Structure 1
């Protein structure tokens, strides 16, 4: 269990922002219709991340093939917390699972996978606290798409602007443009389950 784990996010009383990177074909449909539709697939796990900088690290600031567009997907907090409550960590942890066998069984049956990775700095260096990623499996993606999404915003222009400042050595200006993220109050009942 790690005290370094916290969920940092852009959230308000009813909703929380998740970041996802997609190719144009998926992003165009999502932004135009304000919901995910084909070619987005509900048949494979989709990962949602509340940390903007973690996604920037993952997508190399939108330079990775198939991850050129960054979407800020605002979802209901009730949906987010339902996902966390259905989640199982991607690795065995004694404090959360009891035994490796219990973890393996739970993991194989889980509709949601929870993974912690070092949070990233503006320049991609690992930070001393971890950031959460949540993988929504087939059993729950439909709820994400149909019930949880409040709005979908294309933040690719922001990504390009921040990246340009960074590339030109203006870290201070880049930092000022970052979405504001604060520590999210994870319900006490979920803390152990999430290995926090």
Structure 2
């Protein structure tokens, strides 16, 4: 599986501002909106949720037939502390990986320098400048039927 992590803050947390061993590079991957929508339409949660699936058997069948796994993690602030809202990660397998590589990806940008510049601003205590240097991100509007299936709250 390969993972799409749409939140730059969460990615910064995950890779330690592109300084963790084996994670010294951060790439910004731009995908089509139609591709991301397809991924979410064909996704299931990575873990069992009784309120979403009802039974473990229903979840196991969704997991077996879905080429995409979604998990929700606490969004992070600039100091990597968890915030009250969550961001998603989408794990792609099988057909979804082929589509991601062959159809959805429109650009790759090395964001390592930007990550490290923001980290330096955070380390210097200039959180306003660090915030201003982050990419602009807005919540993705999930259709109700997808939000229910992925355990997203309105």
Q: Same fold (TM over 0.5)?
A: yes
Partner of 2:106: 150
Partner of 1:11: none
Partner of 2:151: 195
Deviation at 1:105, TM superposition (A): 2.1
Partner of 1:93: 49
- 1:10-159 pair list within 5 angstroms: 45-159=1-115
In 1, the alpha carbon distance for the partners of 2:44 and 2:140 equals 19
Q: Deviations over 1:135-179 (max 9, x none)?
A: 001232011001001111111111111011111221111111011
Deviation at 1:60, TM superposition (A): 0.8
Counterpart pick for 1:164 among 113, 120, 123: 120
Partner of 1:34: none
**Unaligned 5+ residue runs, structure 1?**
1-44
Counterpart pick for 1:175 among 123, 131, 135: 131
RMSD between superposed Cα atoms in Å: 1.2
In 1, the alpha carbon distance for the partners of 2:94 and 2:16 equals 27
TM-score by length of structure 2 reads 0.93
In 1, the alpha carbon distance for the partners of 2:8 and 2:18 equals 12
How many pairs does the alignment contain?
A: 152
Partner of 1:29: none
In 2, the alpha carbon distance for the partners of 1:149 and 1:112 equals 16
Structure 1 residue ranges, 4+ long, deviating more than 2 angstroms after superposition: none
TM-score by length of structure 1 reads 0.74
Deviation at 1:69, TM superposition (A): 1.2
